[in-house]
Copies of this chain bind each other. A is one copy, B any other.
């Protein structure tokens, strides 16, 4: 489980969309890039992936943009990471298959599983909510 910039940006974008679900007009890419400092065309590339995963809808033309297409409570960070980031690497070494090799792999797998478990139990809804709280606090500072 390596967290690439891709995954990070995807998550930020999804949070932004989740927080603005109630708005009538979709959210423009430009707004997201500005607010979160994400390199422009790169985000577009990422949004494309999110779209083919069915998690966001795009609206073309003037006043267009993106809109969340799923319930934030149904989307876990693990799903996001796996959809956008690298799809499982799991240590591609050409070591001989020996007892030692198997043992060691078991440990790596267990470690990977542990981190995946953390991501699996965190939903987009949760972290969007927590972000909203923080935003409110900032407002009063």
Contact = CB atoms under 8 A, between A and B. Distances in A.
A115 interface: yes
A93 B5 contact: yes
Nearest to A93: B5
A107 B5 contact: no
Contacts of A117: 114
- Quick one: copies of this chain in the complex? 2
Interface residues of A, number: 48
A130 B108 contact: no
Contact of A12 (B1, B38, B101): B101
A98 interface: yes
A80 to B, nearest CB: 10
A66 interface: no
Contact of A103 (B37, B92, B127): B127
